[in-house]
Amino acid sequence: MSLPEAHISSLLVQLSPEHLNETKKRIEAFDEAEIYGVSEVGKIVVVLETQAEGFITDVIEKINNMPGVLGATMVYHQIDSGTDSDSDTNNNNLAPDDGYSVSEEQV
Band of the pLDDT at 3, cuts 50, 70, 90?
low
The percent of residues in the chain predicted with pLDDT above 70, rounded, is 74
pTM of the prediction?
0.72
For residues 44-58, give the mean pLDDT: 92
The CA angle 25-29-31, to the nearest 5 degrees, is 145
Query: Kind of pairing, strands 69-80 and 6-15?
Result: antiparallel
Residue 37 above 70 pLDDT?
yes
Residue 88 above 50 pLDDT?
no
pLDDT in tens, 13-23: 999 999 999 99
Q: Which of 64, 82, 74 is nearest to 6 (CA)?
A: 82
Give how many domains the chain has, as a whole number.
Answer: 1
Asked if residue 24 is part of any domain, the answer here is yes
Asked if residue 86 is part of any domain, the answer here is no
Q: How many other β-carbons are positioned within 10 Å of the β-carbon of residue 27?
A: 22
3-state SS assignment for residue 83: coil
CATH number, position 10: 3.30.70.920
